[in-house]
A and B are shown apart, each in its own frame.
Chain A
Amino acid sequence: MGVEFFIANILVLILTVVASLVAMLLRDLLAAAVAMAAMSLLLSLEFFILQAPDVAIAEAGVGACLSTAIVIIAINGTKRMEDE
């Protein structure tokens, strides 16, 4: 565990928090779903940095693909923009 390892760890965690904040604040629901997928992908990258590639593959498959597909299908049944 070198210092560059530590820096990458902190950077990925900060980006995860930023992506989830973007997903919360966006009014366009489709863009928010994509931001949530990016958050899930960054989380799987964090799992990979922490040397759990098994969990990283599961997180990338379920979190970034399947849940995003389900959310996009749900948005397709309603409106795209969020009301005030």
Chain B
Amino acid sequence: MSGMSKIVKTAVNILFPLTMIFGLYVIAHGHLTPGGGFQGGAIVASGCAMIVVAYGSKWVFKQIKEKRLSSFESIGAVGFIAVALLGLVFSTVFFGNFLAGSSLLFGTIPATGSTGADFNTGGVLPLMNFAVGVKVIAGLFVIVLVMAYASSVKEWDT
């Protein structure tokens, strides 16, 4: 499909960074606030779908290859399983939270009771949220891209 008018393109240029920031915020704060990997990934992918609708699939295919999106999706799935297997290595069980309680990344244990939200908590949960987020962004964006590409093909060969 071809691009839309200049009004739509300008509105998308303004809205796209805000959508990106909000989606990445939802992914990064998945262990503190409602949302998480899937929800934030859906928000970021809808920002990318906005770009596809406004600028047309030909322009988007010039910028990004779907092979790269496919490898991003695989990186998400492999990262999720790798973190779970690291739990088997460093802790006792599969999905073991080996980072919680240590002084490493995301290692602080929050105080009990109603305290302010501390971002540096949660152990491996933020890492898993990042992995799920990358997988969902790539998967949903490639669905929209394939749909746009298939509707831009005028005549099928069959």
Instruction: State A53–B150 Cα separation when bound (angstroms).
Output: 35
A61, B34: Cβ atoms under 8 Å?
no
For chain A, which range describes its interface: under 10, 10 to 19, 20 to 34, or 35 or more residues? 10 to 19
Task: For A65, list chain B residues within 8 Å (CB).
Answer: 42-43, 46, 49-50
Q: Which residues of B contact A77 (CB under 8 A)?
A: 1, 151-152
| Complex partner residue of B50 from A54, A58, A69, CB under 8 angstroms | A69
Number of A-B contacts (CB under 8 A): 61
**In the complex the two chains form, is B147's CB within 8 Å of A74's CB?**
yes
* A interface SS class: helix
Q: Measured between alpha carbons, how far is A13 from B29 in the docked complex, in Å?
A: 30
Which residues of chain A are within 8 angstroms of B140 by Cβ–Cβ distance? 62, 66
Interface check B39, CB cutoff 8 A: yes
Apart from the given pairs A66-B42, A66-B49, 19 other A-B contacts in the complex at a CB distance below 8 Å = A53-B34, A53-B35, A54-B34, A56-B34, A57-B39, A58-B39, A61-B42, A62-B140, A65-B42, A65-B46, A65-B49, A69-B49, A69-B50, A69-B144, A70-B49, A73-B52, A73-B148, A73-B151, A77-B1
- Identify the A interface with B (CB < 8 A): 53-54, 56-58, 61-62, 65-66, 69-70, 72-74, 76-77
